[in-house]
Amino acid sequence: MPNPIAAMIVIGDEILSGRTRDANMHYLAGQLTEMGVDLKEVRMISDDARIITETVSTLSASYDHVFTSGGIGPTHDDITADCVAAAFDQHIDVRDDARALLAAHYEKTGRELNAARLRMARIPDGATLIDNPVSIAPGFTIENVHVMAGVPSVFTAMVASILPTITGGAPLLSASLRIERGEGDIAGPLAKLAEDFEDLSIGSYPFQDNGVYGANIVARGTDQSRIDALMAELKEVFA
Amino acid sequence: MPNPIAAMIVIGDEILSGRTRDANMHYLAGQLTEMGVDLKEVRMISDDARIITETVSTLSASYDHVFTSGGIGPTHDDITADCVAAAFDQHIDVRDDARALLAAHYEKTGRELNAARLRMARIPDGATLIDNPVSIAPGFTIENVHVMAGVPSVFTAMVASILPTITGGAPLLSASLRIERGEGDIAGPLAKLAEDFEDLSIGSYPFQDNGVYGANIVARGTDQSRIDALMAELKEVFA
Protein backbone atom coordinates (compact mmCIF):
# COMPACT_ATOMS: atom_id res chain seq x y z
CA MET A 1 0.00 0.00 0.00
CA PRO A 2 1.43 3.41 -0.88
CA ASN A 3 2.20 5.81 1.97
CA PRO A 4 -0.32 8.53 2.87
CA ILE A 5 0.52 11.85 1.20
CA ALA A 6 0.47 15.25 2.84
CA ALA A 7 0.81 18.96 2.16
CA MET A 8 1.63 21.87 4.44
CA ILE A 9 0.48 25.49 4.35
CA VAL A 10 2.70 28.06 6.10
CA ILE A 11 0.64 31.22 6.65
CA GLY A 12 2.13 34.63 7.37
CA ASP A 13 3.33 37.88 5.80
CA GLU A 14 6.31 37.87 8.19
CA ILE A 15 7.68 34.76 6.46
CA LEU A 16 7.21 36.12 2.92
CA SER A 17 8.77 39.49 3.79
CA GLY A 18 11.90 37.79 5.11
CA ARG A 19 11.43 39.17 8.61
CA THR A 20 11.01 35.72 10.13
CA ARG A 21 12.68 32.53 9.00
CA ASP A 22 10.20 29.65 9.08
CA ALA A 23 11.29 26.69 11.20
CA ASN A 24 8.07 24.66 11.23
CA MET A 25 8.30 23.25 7.71
CA HIS A 26 11.65 21.58 8.31
CA TYR A 27 10.48 20.19 11.65
CA LEU A 28 7.23 18.74 10.30
CA ALA A 29 9.01 17.29 7.26
CA GLY A 30 11.36 15.27 9.44
CA GLN A 31 8.54 14.04 11.69
CA LEU A 32 6.39 12.92 8.75
CA THR A 33 9.28 11.13 7.05
CA GLU A 34 9.95 9.15 10.22
CA MET A 35 6.39 7.85 10.34
CA GLY A 36 5.98 7.12 6.64
CA VAL A 37 3.80 10.02 5.58
CA ASP A 38 5.10 11.56 2.34
CA LEU A 39 5.17 15.38 2.40
CA LYS A 40 4.64 16.25 -1.27
CA GLU A 41 4.15 19.99 -1.29
CA VAL A 42 4.46 23.08 0.90
CA ARG A 43 2.86 26.44 0.16
CA MET A 44 3.84 29.61 1.97
CA ILE A 45 1.10 32.19 1.60
CA SER A 46 0.19 35.62 2.96
CA ASP A 47 -2.42 36.63 5.55
CA ASP A 48 -5.11 37.03 2.88
CA ALA A 49 -8.51 35.49 3.59
CA ARG A 50 -9.37 34.54 0.01
CA ILE A 51 -5.98 32.95 -0.61
CA ILE A 52 -5.99 31.00 2.67
CA THR A 53 -9.50 29.66 2.01
CA GLU A 54 -8.73 28.68 -1.60
CA THR A 55 -5.42 27.02 -0.70
CA VAL A 56 -7.04 24.95 2.07
CA SER A 57 -9.82 23.86 -0.31
CA THR A 58 -7.45 22.91 -3.10
CA LEU A 59 -4.95 21.00 -1.01
CA SER A 60 -7.46 19.21 1.21
CA ALA A 61 -9.02 17.76 -1.94
CA SER A 62 -5.64 16.52 -3.23
CA TYR A 63 -3.91 15.07 -0.16
CA ASP A 64 -4.65 12.65 2.67
CA HIS A 65 -3.57 15.26 5.22
CA VAL A 66 -2.99 19.01 5.22
CA PHE A 67 -1.10 20.73 8.06
CA THR A 68 -1.27 24.49 8.57
CA SER A 69 1.02 26.74 10.59
CA GLY A 70 0.22 30.28 11.70
CA GLY A 71 -2.62 32.74 12.17
CA ILE A 72 -4.59 31.33 15.12
CA GLY A 73 -3.65 33.86 17.85
CA PRO A 74 -5.78 36.62 19.41
CA THR A 75 -4.91 39.59 17.17
CA HIS A 76 -6.71 41.11 14.19
CA ASP A 77 -4.31 39.49 11.70
CA ASP A 78 -5.12 35.98 12.97
CA ILE A 79 -7.72 34.86 10.44
CA THR A 80 -6.79 31.24 9.74
CA ALA A 81 -9.58 29.56 11.77
CA ASP A 82 -12.29 31.56 10.02
CA CYS A 83 -10.77 30.84 6.61
CA VAL A 84 -10.58 27.09 7.26
CA ALA A 85 -14.21 27.11 8.40
CA ALA A 86 -15.14 28.90 5.17
CA ALA A 87 -13.20 26.35 3.11
CA PHE A 88 -15.44 23.59 4.53
CA ASP A 89 -18.57 25.76 4.58
CA GLN A 90 -18.87 25.33 8.34
CA HIS A 91 -20.20 27.74 10.94
CA ILE A 92 -17.57 29.11 13.35
CA ASP A 93 -17.93 30.84 16.71
CA VAL A 94 -16.52 30.69 20.24
CA ARG A 95 -17.04 27.06 21.25
CA ASP A 96 -17.75 25.95 24.83
CA ASP A 97 -15.03 23.29 25.01
CA ALA A 98 -12.30 25.69 23.86
CA ARG A 99 -13.66 28.50 26.03
CA ALA A 100 -13.54 26.22 29.09
CA LEU A 101 -9.86 25.44 28.46
CA LEU A 102 -9.00 29.13 28.17
CA ALA A 103 -11.15 30.17 31.16
CA ALA A 104 -9.42 27.65 33.44
CA HIS A 105 -6.00 28.73 32.20
CA TYR A 106 -6.54 32.47 32.62
CA GLU A 107 -8.19 32.03 36.01
CA LYS A 108 -5.13 30.12 37.18
CA THR A 109 -2.72 32.72 35.83
CA GLY A 110 -4.79 35.69 37.05
CA ARG A 111 -5.23 37.22 33.61
CA GLU A 112 -8.46 38.36 32.04
CA LEU A 113 -10.25 36.22 29.43
CA ASN A 114 -11.09 39.27 27.33
CA ALA A 115 -12.67 39.51 23.87
CA ALA A 116 -9.31 39.21 22.09
CA ARG A 117 -8.33 36.04 23.97
CA LEU A 118 -11.80 34.60 23.36
CA ARG A 119 -11.03 34.79 19.63
CA MET A 120 -8.72 31.84 20.25
CA ALA A 121 -11.77 29.78 21.24
CA ARG A 122 -13.32 30.27 17.78
CA ILE A 123 -13.52 26.71 16.46
CA PRO A 124 -15.52 25.50 13.44
CA ASP A 125 -18.48 23.16 14.03
CA GLY A 126 -17.43 19.55 13.58
CA ALA A 127 -13.74 20.17 14.39
CA THR A 128 -11.77 18.23 17.02
CA LEU A 129 -9.44 20.21 19.29
CA ILE A 130 -5.66 19.74 19.14
CA ASP A 131 -4.06 19.83 22.58
CA ASN A 132 -1.62 22.71 23.28
CA PRO A 133 0.32 22.02 26.49
CA VAL A 134 2.51 25.11 25.94
CA SER A 135 0.01 27.97 25.90
CA ILE A 136 -3.38 26.16 26.15
CA ALA A 137 -5.21 27.85 23.22
CA PRO A 138 -5.99 24.80 21.07
CA GLY A 139 -5.49 24.00 17.42
CA PHE A 140 -8.09 21.89 15.66
CA THR A 141 -8.62 19.21 13.05
CA ILE A 142 -11.49 19.50 10.60
CA GLU A 143 -11.86 16.70 8.06
CA ASN A 144 -8.26 16.12 6.87
CA VAL A 145 -6.88 19.57 7.80
CA HIS A 146 -4.85 20.07 10.99
CA VAL A 147 -4.71 23.73 12.02
CA MET A 148 -1.77 24.68 14.26
CA ALA A 149 -0.02 27.75 15.65
CA GLY A 150 3.00 29.41 14.04
CA VAL A 151 5.11 29.97 17.18
CA PRO A 152 7.62 27.11 16.87
CA SER A 153 7.40 25.88 20.47
CA VAL A 154 3.60 25.69 20.20
CA PHE A 155 3.68 24.19 16.70
CA THR A 156 6.05 21.48 17.88
CA ALA A 157 3.81 20.65 20.85
CA MET A 158 0.71 20.48 18.64
CA VAL A 159 2.49 18.20 16.15
CA ALA A 160 3.31 15.89 19.05
CA SER A 161 -0.40 15.91 19.99
CA ILE A 162 -1.72 15.17 16.51
CA LEU A 163 0.75 12.76 14.90
CA PRO A 164 -0.09 9.76 17.12
CA THR A 165 -3.68 9.97 15.80
CA ILE A 166 -2.53 9.62 12.19
CA THR A 167 -1.89 6.30 10.49
CA GLY A 168 1.53 6.28 8.87
CA GLY A 169 3.05 4.05 6.24
CA ALA A 170 6.37 2.37 5.71
CA PRO A 171 8.95 4.72 7.20
CA LEU A 172 11.30 6.16 4.62
CA LEU A 173 14.72 4.64 5.15
CA SER A 174 17.86 6.27 3.87
CA ALA A 175 21.59 5.91 3.69
CA SER A 176 24.21 8.25 2.34
CA LEU A 177 27.76 8.16 1.04
CA ARG A 178 30.12 11.12 0.94
CA ILE A 179 32.18 11.13 -2.25
CA GLU A 180 35.00 13.64 -2.54
CA ARG A 181 34.90 14.10 -6.29
CA GLY A 182 33.22 16.69 -8.49
CA GLU A 183 29.55 15.96 -9.09
CA GLY A 184 30.32 15.98 -12.80
CA ASP A 185 32.58 12.95 -12.36
CA ILE A 186 30.00 11.15 -10.25
CA ALA A 187 26.98 11.80 -12.44
CA GLY A 188 27.60 9.29 -15.26
CA PRO A 189 28.10 6.12 -13.15
CA LEU A 190 25.38 7.30 -10.76
CA ALA A 191 22.80 7.58 -13.55
CA LYS A 192 23.53 3.95 -14.53
CA LEU A 193 23.07 2.80 -10.92
CA ALA A 194 19.82 4.77 -10.71
CA GLU A 195 18.47 2.70 -13.60
CA ASP A 196 19.29 -0.55 -11.78
CA PHE A 197 17.69 0.72 -8.57
CA GLU A 198 14.51 2.30 -9.89
CA ASP A 199 12.68 1.35 -6.68
CA LEU A 200 14.90 3.76 -4.71
CA SER A 201 15.03 7.53 -4.88
CA ILE A 202 18.66 8.54 -5.35
CA GLY A 203 19.74 12.12 -4.85
CA SER A 204 23.09 13.84 -5.27
CA TYR A 205 23.78 16.86 -3.05
CA PRO A 206 26.98 18.72 -3.90
CA PHE A 207 29.08 20.39 -1.20
CA GLN A 208 32.18 22.54 -0.93
CA ASP A 209 33.95 22.47 2.45
CA ASN A 210 37.17 24.48 2.75
CA GLY A 211 38.18 23.76 -0.83
CA VAL A 212 37.18 20.10 -0.72
CA TYR A 213 34.35 19.50 -3.14
CA GLY A 214 32.19 16.49 -3.68
CA ALA A 215 28.66 15.25 -3.20
CA ASN A 216 26.62 13.33 -0.69
CA ILE A 217 24.73 10.57 -2.46
CA VAL A 218 21.51 9.77 -0.60
CA ALA A 219 19.38 6.70 -1.29
CA ARG A 220 15.83 6.62 0.05
CA GLY A 221 13.31 3.80 0.02
CA THR A 222 11.35 1.44 2.21
CA ASP A 223 13.45 -1.74 1.70
CA GLN A 224 16.62 -1.79 3.77
CA SER A 225 18.16 -4.68 1.78
CA ARG A 226 17.87 -2.74 -1.47
CA ILE A 227 19.45 0.34 0.12
CA ASP A 228 22.29 -1.83 1.45
CA ALA A 229 22.80 -3.35 -2.02
CA LEU A 230 23.01 0.07 -3.64
CA MET A 231 25.43 1.36 -1.00
CA ALA A 232 27.69 -1.65 -1.63
CA GLU A 233 27.74 -0.96 -5.37
CA LEU A 234 28.31 2.75 -4.82
CA LYS A 235 31.33 2.03 -2.64
CA GLU A 236 32.74 -0.30 -5.26
CA VAL A 237 32.26 2.13 -8.14
CA PHE A 238 33.61 5.15 -6.29
CA ALA A 239 36.29 3.43 -4.16
CA MET B 1 1.86 52.17 -9.07
CA PRO B 2 1.67 48.91 -7.14
CA ASN B 3 4.86 46.98 -6.56
CA PRO B 4 5.75 44.07 -8.87
CA ILE B 5 4.65 40.72 -7.41
CA ALA B 6 6.69 37.54 -7.35
CA ALA B 7 6.55 33.86 -6.50
CA MET B 8 9.29 31.35 -5.69
CA ILE B 9 9.50 27.61 -6.41
CA VAL B 10 11.87 25.56 -4.22
CA ILE B 11 12.51 22.25 -5.97
CA GLY B 12 13.88 19.16 -4.25
CA ASP B 13 12.93 15.94 -2.47
CA GLU B 14 15.69 16.59 0.07
CA ILE B 15 13.79 19.64 1.35
CA LEU B 16 10.43 17.85 1.59
CA SER B 17 11.93 14.83 3.35
CA GLY B 18 13.45 17.07 6.02
CA ARG B 19 17.00 16.03 5.17
CA THR B 20 18.00 19.55 4.14
CA ARG B 21 16.71 22.79 5.61
CA ASP B 22 16.07 25.30 2.85
CA ALA B 23 17.90 28.60 3.25
CA ASN B 24 17.21 30.19 -0.13
CA MET B 25 13.63 31.22 0.48
CA HIS B 26 14.47 33.36 3.50
CA TYR B 27 17.40 34.95 1.66
CA LEU B 28 15.43 35.80 -1.47
CA ALA B 29 12.50 37.12 0.59
CA GLY B 30 14.74 39.66 2.32
CA GLN B 31 16.36 40.77 -0.93
CA LEU B 32 13.03 41.25 -2.72
CA THR B 33 11.54 43.20 0.19
CA GLU B 34 14.49 45.60 0.13
CA MET B 35 13.94 46.42 -3.54
CA GLY B 36 10.16 46.70 -3.42
CA VAL B 37 9.18 43.42 -5.09
CA ASP B 38 6.39 41.71 -3.12
CA LEU B 39 6.93 37.98 -2.64
CA LYS B 40 3.38 36.65 -2.48
CA GLU B 41 3.77 32.89 -2.56
CA VAL B 42 6.36 30.12 -2.23
CA ARG B 43 5.85 26.53 -3.32
CA MET B 44 8.16 23.73 -2.28
CA ILE B 45 7.76 20.77 -4.62
CA SER B 46 9.41 17.44 -5.36
CA ASP B 47 11.70 16.40 -8.22
CA ASP B 48 8.75 15.35 -10.39
CA ALA B 49 8.76 16.50 -14.01
CA ARG B 50 5.00 16.93 -14.41
CA ILE B 51 4.68 18.87 -11.15
CA ILE B 52 7.64 21.16 -11.91
CA THR B 53 6.32 21.96 -15.39
CA GLU B 54 2.77 22.63 -14.18
CA THR B 55 3.91 24.77 -11.26
CA VAL B 56 6.12 26.92 -13.51
CA SER B 57 3.26 27.37 -16.00
CA THR B 58 0.73 28.31 -13.34
CA LEU B 59 2.89 30.75 -11.42
CA SER B 60 4.48 32.44 -14.43
CA ALA B 61 0.98 33.31 -15.64
CA SER B 62 0.03 34.82 -12.26
CA TYR B 63 3.10 36.82 -11.20
CA ASP B 64 5.47 39.42 -12.62
CA HIS B 65 8.47 37.28 -11.66
CA VAL B 66 9.04 33.65 -10.68
CA PHE B 67 12.29 32.52 -9.07
CA THR B 68 13.25 28.85 -8.90
CA SER B 69 15.86 27.16 -6.72
CA GLY B 70 17.29 23.68 -7.30
CA GLY B 71 17.69 20.93 -9.87
CA ILE B 72 20.13 22.40 -12.42
CA GLY B 73 23.26 20.33 -11.65
CA PRO B 74 24.85 17.51 -13.66
CA THR B 75 23.15 14.46 -12.12
CA HIS B 76 20.17 12.39 -13.26
CA ASP B 77 17.85 14.02 -10.71
CA ASP B 78 18.52 17.52 -12.10
CA ILE B 79 15.52 18.01 -14.38
CA THR B 80 14.50 21.61 -13.76
CA ALA B 81 15.90 23.12 -16.99
CA ASP B 82 14.04 20.61 -19.17
CA CYS B 83 10.81 21.13 -17.21
CA VAL B 84 11.00 24.92 -17.54
CA ALA B 85 11.62 24.56 -21.30
CA ALA B 86 8.54 22.32 -21.51
CA ALA B 87 6.47 24.86 -19.58
CA PHE B 88 7.20 27.45 -22.30
CA ASP B 89 7.07 24.90 -25.14
CA GLN B 90 10.68 25.71 -26.05
CA HIS B 91 13.35 23.45 -27.49
CA ILE B 92 16.25 22.70 -25.14
CA ASP B 93 19.74 21.34 -25.81
CA VAL B 94 23.38 22.06 -24.99
CA ARG B 95 23.81 25.67 -26.05
CA ASP B 96 27.08 27.08 -27.43
CA ASP B 97 27.31 30.07 -25.10
CA ALA B 98 26.88 27.95 -21.98
CA ARG B 99 29.20 25.23 -23.33
CA ALA B 100 31.90 27.83 -23.93
CA LEU B 101 31.70 29.00 -20.31
CA LEU B 102 32.02 25.47 -19.01
CA ALA B 103 34.79 24.49 -21.47
CA ALA B 104 36.94 27.45 -20.41
CA HIS B 105 36.35 26.69 -16.73
CA TYR B 106 37.16 22.99 -16.91
CA GLU B 107 40.21 23.59 -19.11
CA LYS B 108 41.54 26.00 -16.49
CA THR B 109 40.88 23.61 -13.62
CA GLY B 110 42.17 20.56 -15.51
CA ARG B 111 38.94 18.59 -15.24
CA GLU B 112 37.10 16.88 -18.04
CA LEU B 113 34.01 18.45 -19.63
CA ASN B 114 32.22 15.11 -19.78
CA ALA B 115 28.65 14.27 -20.77
CA ALA B 116 27.34 14.80 -17.24
CA ARG B 117 28.89 18.27 -16.93
CA LEU B 118 27.61 19.16 -20.39
CA ARG B 119 24.08 18.65 -19.05
CA MET B 120 24.65 21.93 -17.20
CA ALA B 121 24.90 23.67 -20.59
CA ARG B 122 21.35 22.61 -21.49
CA ILE B 123 19.56 25.95 -21.89
CA PRO B 124 16.16 26.54 -23.52
CA ASP B 125 16.03 28.51 -26.79
CA GLY B 126 15.30 32.17 -26.10
CA ALA B 127 16.66 32.12 -22.56
CA THR B 128 19.26 34.59 -21.22
CA LEU B 129 22.09 33.20 -19.06
CA ILE B 130 22.41 34.15 -15.39
CA ASP B 131 26.03 34.63 -14.34
CA ASN B 132 27.43 32.20 -11.73
CA PRO B 133 30.76 33.48 -10.40
CA VAL B 134 30.95 30.66 -7.83
CA SER B 135 30.92 27.52 -9.96
CA ILE B 136 30.43 28.89 -13.51
CA ALA B 137 27.53 26.65 -14.67
CA PRO B 138 24.92 29.31 -15.44
CA GLY B 139 21.30 29.77 -14.49
CA PHE B 140 18.92 31.30 -16.99
CA THR B 141 15.94 33.59 -17.40
CA ILE B 142 13.17 32.67 -19.82
CA GLU B 143 10.27 35.10 -20.10
CA ASN B 144 9.53 36.00 -16.45
CA VAL B 145 11.08 32.89 -14.85
CA HIS B 146 14.56 33.01 -13.29
CA VAL B 147 16.07 29.53 -12.90
CA MET B 148 18.80 29.23 -10.26
CA ALA B 149 20.82 26.59 -8.41
CA GLY B 150 19.88 25.16 -5.03
CA VAL B 151 23.32 25.23 -3.38
CA PRO B 152 23.00 28.34 -1.18
CA SER B 153 26.36 29.91 -2.10
CA VAL B 154 25.53 29.59 -5.80
CA PHE B 155 21.91 30.68 -5.35
CA THR B 156 23.05 33.79 -3.51
CA ALA B 157 25.54 34.65 -6.27
CA MET B 158 22.91 34.17 -8.97
CA VAL B 159 20.43 36.37 -7.09
CA ALA B 160 23.10 39.08 -7.00
CA SER B 161 23.48 38.68 -10.78
CA ILE B 162 19.79 38.87 -11.62
CA LEU B 163 18.25 41.39 -9.20
CA PRO B 164 19.92 44.48 -10.73
CA THR B 165 18.15 43.64 -14.02
CA ILE B 166 14.72 43.74 -12.37
CA THR B 167 12.71 46.90 -11.84
CA GLY B 168 11.61 47.17 -8.23
CA GLY B 169 8.95 49.29 -6.59
CA ALA B 170 8.68 51.30 -3.44
CA PRO B 171 10.79 49.49 -0.86
CA LEU B 172 8.79 48.12 2.00
CA LEU B 173 9.59 50.12 5.12
CA SER B 174 8.97 48.76 8.57
CA ALA B 175 9.26 49.60 12.24
CA SER B 176 8.62 47.49 15.27
CA LEU B 177 7.81 47.91 18.95
CA ARG B 178 8.42 45.29 21.62
CA ILE B 179 5.58 45.16 24.14
CA GLU B 180 6.02 43.03 27.22
CA ARG B 181 2.39 42.14 27.76
CA GLY B 182 0.36 39.12 26.72
CA GLU B 183 -0.84 39.29 23.12
CA GLY B 184 -4.38 38.94 24.46
CA ASP B 185 -4.04 42.28 26.28
CA ILE B 186 -2.54 43.96 23.24
CA ALA B 187 -5.03 42.66 20.68
CA GLY B 188 -8.04 44.91 21.43
CA PRO B 189 -6.32 48.33 21.26
CA LEU B 190 -4.22 47.09 18.33
CA ALA B 191 -7.28 46.15 16.26
CA LYS B 192 -8.61 49.72 16.74
CA LEU B 193 -5.30 51.21 15.58
CA ALA B 194 -5.27 48.87 12.58
CA GLU B 195 -8.59 50.39 11.47
CA ASP B 196 -7.10 53.91 11.63
CA PHE B 197 -4.01 52.83 9.69
CA GLU B 198 -5.54 50.70 6.97
CA ASP B 199 -2.77 51.76 4.57
CA LEU B 200 -0.22 49.90 6.73
CA SER B 201 0.14 46.18 7.29
CA ILE B 202 0.31 45.61 11.04
CA GLY B 203 1.43 42.27 12.42
CA SER B 204 1.72 40.96 15.96
CA TYR B 205 4.39 38.34 16.65
CA PRO B 206 4.26 36.81 20.12
CA PHE B 207 7.41 35.76 21.93
CA GLN B 208 8.41 34.06 25.17
CA ASP B 209 11.95 34.76 26.40
CA ASN B 210 12.94 33.23 29.73
CA GLY B 211 9.50 33.65 31.20
CA VAL B 212 8.97 37.15 29.80
CA TYR B 213 6.11 37.09 27.35
CA GLY B 214 4.90 39.71 24.95
CA ALA B 215 4.72 40.54 21.27
CA ASN B 216 6.63 42.45 18.67
CA ILE B 217 4.28 44.71 16.77
CA VAL B 218 5.54 45.30 13.23
CA ALA B 219 4.17 47.97 10.91
CA ARG B 220 4.99 47.73 7.21
CA GLY B 221 4.25 50.18 4.45
CA THR B 222 5.79 52.51 1.91
CA ASP B 223 5.16 55.84 3.67
CA GLN B 224 7.62 56.56 6.48
CA SER B 225 5.51 59.36 7.97
CA ARG B 226 2.53 57.05 8.39
CA ILE B 227 4.72 54.42 10.05
CA ASP B 228 6.12 57.07 12.39
CA ALA B 229 2.61 58.24 13.24
CA LEU B 230 1.50 54.71 14.09
CA MET B 231 4.58 54.06 16.19
CA ALA B 232 3.91 57.25 18.18
CA GLU B 233 0.33 56.15 18.89
CA LEU B 234 1.42 52.63 19.78
CA LYS B 235 3.89 53.98 22.33
CA GLU B 236 1.21 56.18 23.84
CA VAL B 237 -1.37 53.40 24.09
CA PHE B 238 1.04 50.81 25.48
CA ALA B 239 3.24 53.10 27.61
CATH of the domain at A155: 3.40.980.10
In three-state secondary structure terms, B90 is: coil
Domain boundary among A146, A165, A184: A165
**Quick one: CA dihedral B200, A116, A8, B54, positive or negative?**
negative
Mean per-residue pLDDT of chain A: 94
Q: What is the CATH number of the domain that holds B216?
A: 3.30.70.600
Percentage above 90 pLDDT, chain A: 84
Pairing between β-strand B38-45 and β-strand A128-130 as defined by DSSP bridges:
unpaired
Residue A62 binned pLDDT confidence (cut-offs 50, 70, 90): very high
Residues of chain B contacting residue A204, judged by C-beta atoms under 8 Å apart: 73, 75, 77
Domain match, B219 and B109 both: no
Average confidence (pLDDT) over A98-116: 93
Domain match, A145 and A112 both: yes
Q: Is residue B160 within a helix (H) or strand (E), and if so which, with residue range?
A: helix B152-162
Q: How far apart are CA B101 and CA B75, in angstroms?
A: 19
Interface ipTM above 0.85: yes
In three-state secondary structure terms, B92 is: strand
What one-character-per-residue DSSP string does chain A give? Answer: -PPPEEEEEEE-HHHHTTSS---HHHHHHHHHHHHT-EEEEEEEE-S-HHHHHHHHHHHHHHSSEEEEES--SSSTT--HHHHHHHHTT--EEE-HHHHHHHHHHHHHHT----HHHHGGGEEETT-EEE--TTT---EEEETTEEEE-SSHHHHHHHHHHHGGGS---SPPEEEEEEE-S-HHHHHHHHHHHHHHTTTSEEEEEEEEETTEEEEEEEEEES-HHHHHHHHHHHHHHT-
Between helices A152-162 and A24-35, what is the axis angle to 10°? 20
Number of domains in chain A: 2
Domain match, B183 and B120 both: no
**pLDDT tops 90 at residue B206:** no
B-facing residues of A in 63-102 (CB < 8 A) are 73-77
User: Which range among A22-36, B110-124, B204-218 shows the weakest confidence by mean pLDDT?
Assistant: B204-218
In three-state secondary structure terms, B77 is: coil
Q: Which of B39, B69, B76 to mutate to test the interface with A (most CBs of A within 10 A)?
A: B76
Residues of chain B contacting residue A17, judged by C-beta atoms under 8 Å apart: 29-30, 33, 39, 172, 174, 220
Could you tell me if B81 and B97 are in contact, meaning their C-beta atoms sit under 8 angstroms apart? no
Residue A63 binned pLDDT confidence (cut-offs 50, 70, 90): very high
Q: What is the pLDDT of residue B2?
A: 85
Structural domain including B90 reads 5-165
Q: Which of A106, A99, A41 is closest to B15 using CA atoms?
A: A41
Domain match, A91 and A190 both: no
**Residue B130 main-chain phi, psi, to 5 deg:** -105, 125
Could you tell me if B217 and B193 are in contact, meaning their C-beta atoms sit under 8 angstroms apart? no
* Per-residue pLDDT tens over the stretch A146-175: 999 999 999 999 999 999 999 999 888 889
Q: What is the pLDDT of residue A196?
A: 95
Could you tell me if A145 and A63 are in contact, meaning their C-beta atoms sit under 8 angstroms apart? no
Domain match, B48 and B13 both: yes
Domain match, A107 and A203 both: no
Domain match, A95 and A187 both: no
What one-character-per-residue DSSP string does A209-238 give? Answer: ETTEEEEEEEEEES-HHHHHHHHHHHHHHT
Chain B within 8 Å of A175 (Cβ-Cβ)?
Answer: no
Q: Which of A10, A33, A77, A99 to mutate to test the interface with B (most CBs of B within 10 A)?
A: A77
Tell me, yes or no, if the pTM score tops 0.90: yes
Strand-pairing partners, residue B209, are B212
Domain boundary among A165, A182, A202: A165
Could you tell me if B66 and B32 are in contact, meaning their C-beta atoms sit under 8 angstroms apart? no
Domain match, A30 and A148 both: yes
Could you tell me if B74 and B116 are in contact, meaning their C-beta atoms sit under 8 angstroms apart? yes
Task: Verify whether the Cβ–Cβ distance A187 to B76 is below 8 Å.
Answer: yes
Q: Which residue of A has its CA nearest to B120?
A: A184
Range among A198-202, A205-209, B88-92 with highest mean pLDDT value = B88-92
Domain boundary among B140, B165, B190: B165
* Per-residue pLDDT tens over the stretch B113-159: 999 999 999 999 999 999 999 989 999 999 999 999 999 999 999 99
Task: Verify whether the Cβ–Cβ distance A203 to B41 is below 8 Å.
Answer: no
Residues of chain B contacting residue A117, judged by C-beta atoms under 8 Å apart: 184, 187
How big is the CA angle at A36 (ends B44 and A136), to the nearest 5 degrees?
75
Domain match, A86 and A104 both: yes
* Per-residue pLDDT tens over the stretch B65-121: 999 999 999 998 899 999 999 999 999 999 999 999 999 999 998 888 999 999 999
Domain match, A103 and A180 both: no
Chain A within 8 Å of B105 (Cβ-Cβ)?
Answer: no
* Per-residue pLDDT tens over the stretch A141-154: 999 999 999 999 99
CB pairs under 8 A between A and B: 190
Mean per-residue pLDDT of chain B: 94
Domain match, A179 and A232 both: yes
Task: Verify whether the Cβ–Cβ distance B191 to A116 is below 8 Å.
Answer: yes
Domain match, A178 and A131 both: no
Q: What is the pLDDT of residue B208?
A: 77
